[in-house]
Amino acid sequence: MKKDTHPAYYPDAKVSCACGNTFTIGSTKKEIRVEICYNCHPFYTGKDKLIDTAGRVDKFKARREKAAKATVRTKTAKRAAKAAKKVKKPVKK
Numbered residues of the known binding site for Zn(2+):
17, 19, 37, 40
Backbone angles phi, psi at 80, to 5 degrees: -65, -40
Instruction: Judge contact between 38 and 46, C-beta under 8 A.
Output: no
Phi-psi region of 5 (alpha: psi -120 to 50; beta: other; left: phi over 0): alpha
Write the DSSP symbol of residue 25.
E
